[in-house]
Structure 1
Amino acid sequence: MNVLLVIILSIVEGITEFLPISSTGHMILVNNFLKIGNLRKEFMDSFLVIIQLGAILSVVVYFFKELNPFVKDKDIFKEKMILWSKIVIGVLPAVVLGLLFDDMIEEYFMDSSLIVALMLILYGIIFMFIEKVIKKSKINKFDNINYSTAFIIGIFQCLAMIPGTSRSGATIMGGLLLGLTKAVAAEFSFFLAIPTMVGATLLKIVKNGLNFTLNEWGLLLLGSFLSFIIAYLSIKWLMDYLKNKSFKVFGIYRIILGIIVLLLLL
């Protein structure tokens, strides 16, 4: 049952990490409603964060050419380093607010299906409204993203500290409001995920340690591997989808799921 739970959670993580539907929210719902397995709460708290490293590694692999600065061409090297500097600027708000509020968020929000349901519905409505209102996007390449824009997108990312919001959804939403095309907003969201989730994992490790049994280490490796494979396929699908489709379907899905969860809670 523990292996089955890990497989299910890892698949859910891989599918939802980069779609604007909240991976953490989905894993909380699965864990709360499925009620299988007997894993320690301390392990599960770490597991739900650490397996996201597998999904983050899929970003590095998928966008390796776009992200790798170690090339012989000086102009390309400079271009990549400028992109990474914008990523660093974009992640600063999450670093500061994460350190300040992580304990409070973990205590009051991380196990709440009610919070997840409400955030799914609220941001589902907001996502649909924003896409309907925004008609023109001017920023269609990373060179045109300035540092202030990167920082503001990073502030939007912080909204996702509340489970059910969606980190990718919040950053894409911020990017669209600031004039980025859907494809560029999505890619920059993926790039921001790398330092953000690595930092979140390190923070969780510092707080909870790595006092896992051999069996728990095996479950972590299994979860990370599965989330990597599924997340890679999810990124590929989303990048193709964004070429000529809207985010409306994700907003509708969020609202329907949120309503279903509220009814189940009642």
Structure 2
Amino acid sequence: MDIVLLVKAAIMGVVEGLTEFLPISSTGHLILAGALLGMDDAKAKVFDIAIQTGAIFAVILVYWQKIRATLIELPHQRQAQRFALNVVIGFLPAVVLALIFGKLIKAHLFTPEVVASTFILGGLVILWAERRPPTATRVYSVDDMTALDALKVGLVQCLAMVPGTSRSGATIIGGMLLGLSRKAATDFSFFLAIPTLIGAGVYSLYKERALLSLADLPMFAVGLVFSFLSAWVCVRWLLRYISSHSFVPFAWYRIVFGVVVLWTAWSGTIAWSG
């Protein structure tokens, strides 16, 4: 058993769990962390996607009461049916575009330079969104969303196909700009993550199964466990944070971090690899 590899897997799991649901891009951080740790080959890219499932288990645990109630009421309760349908509607655009453009994006955009640039651009967008005159809030709960609201948020989620953009950042900020309250946008972002990330993980594992063997199981297991634990802590913290804070600190973090990555890449201080 390669202890060093398991330690690297644990680090990547923590990075995934802490960044998946904050508006700072988990994919971007995994690309950069993988470049530093030497985990940037084809198998590592499958690992990065697979350990997202651990983070999703944390969301399921935090929102279990809502999920359980929806499943129980789904056969006969109109509100539960509408909520489930909205999640499906929000999920579908990412599926379609990923099937069409996924291979092209992975081949050309999964580089530290692209990630750093989108970090900075995303930070500027968050600053603009938080400082513009507030949009009139129409939706205060995910149960009040219409199918059109779900579709719009689902389309915004597609922006996160570009690494460094942040799926949670796009859906939360996009939802707020579309008239959702900060709480409703955050909740729907989390619910939308469940089919999106589980689907991506299962598809990636199936598609790249030839790269994997039973010897890889400990590495994946460690990554999943650490992803779950760190995500559980992060999600619970974020839900408390948004009740009285804006996303401006995350915007500045993105900008500073992106500038640092670009500077180290251009100066040769760190030999980033794509």
SS in 2 for 1:71: helix
Match of 1:107 in 2: 107
Q: 1-side partners of 2:73 and 2:119: how far apart?
A: 46
Shift of 1:80: 2.1
Match of 1:21 in 2: 24
Match of 1:129 in 2: 128
Moved more, 255-264 or 40-49: 40-49
Q: Is the 8 A contact 2:142 2:187 kept in 1?
A: no
Q: 2-side partners of 1:74 and 1:29: how far apart?
A: 45
Shift of 1:198: 1.5
Match of 2:63 in 1: 63
Moved more, 39-48 or 153-162: 39-48
SS in 1 for 2:163: coil
Q: After the TM superposition, which residues 75-94 of structure 1 pair with which residues of structure 2 at under 5 Å, given as runs?
A: 77-94=77-94
Mind listing any 5+ residue stretches in structure 2 that lack a counterpart? 267-274
Q: 2-side partners of 1:96 and 1:71: how far apart?
A: 29
Q: After the TM superposition, which residues 158-197 of structure 1 pair with which residues of structure 2 at under 5 Å, given as runs?
A: 158-197=158-197
Q: 1-side partners of 2:22 and 2:194: how far apart?
A: 15
Which amino acid counterpart does residue 199 of structure 2 have in structure 1? G
Shift of 1:178: 0.7
**1:33 matches 2:36:** yes
Q: 2-side partners of 1:9 and 1:168: how far apart?
A: 19
Q: 2-side partners of 1:217 and 1:42: how far apart?
A: 16
Shift of 1:202: 2.4
Q: Is the 8 A contact 1:10 1:226 kept in 2?
A: yes
Q: 2-side partners of 1:244 and 1:227: how far apart?
A: 26
Sequence identity (%): 37
Q: Is the 8 A contact 2:120 2:255 kept in 1?
A: yes
SS in 2 for 1:244: coil
TM-score (norm. length: structure 2): 0.91
Match of 1:2 in 2: 5
Q: Is the 8 A contact 2:141 2:183 kept in 1?
A: no
Q: 2-side partners of 1:211 and 1:114: how far apart?
A: 27
SS in 2 for 1:226: helix
Which amino acid counterpart does residue 71 of structure 1 have in structure 2? I
Q: 2-side partners of 1:73 and 1:86: how far apart?
A: 13
Q: Is the 8 A contact 1:67 1:80 kept in 2?
A: no
Which amino acid counterpart does residue 12 of structure 2 have in structure 1? L
SS in 1 for 2:72: coil
CA 209–192 in structure 1, closer or farther in 2 if over 3 Å, else same = same
Q: 1-side partners of 2:94 and 2:248: how far apart?
A: 27
Cα deviation code 1:89-115 (max 9, x no counterpart): 0011101001001110111122x0000
Match of 1:208 in 2: 208
Moved more, 201-210 or 252-261: 201-210
Mind listing any 5+ residue stretches in structure 1 that lack a counterpart? none
Which amino acid counterpart does residue 115 of structure 2 have in structure 1? V
Cα deviation code 1:137-169 (max 9, x no counterpart): 231112321101100100100000011000000
Q: Is the 8 A contact 2:74 2:81 kept in 1?
A: no
Q: 2-side partners of 1:104 and 1:240: how far apart?
A: 38
Which amino acid counterpart does residue 223 of structure 1 have in structure 2? G
Which amino acid counterpart does residue 72 of structure 2 have in structure 1? V
CA RMSD of aligned residues (A): 1.7
Q: Is the 8 A contact 2:159 2:165 kept in 1?
A: yes
Cα deviation code 1:22-77 (max 9, x no counterpart): 00100101111244xxx6823201100000000011111110111222336987x4
Moved more, 10-19 or 199-208: 199-208
SS in 2 for 1:70: helix
**1:43 matches 2:46:** no
Q: 2-side partners of 1:205 and 1:166: how far apart?
A: 22
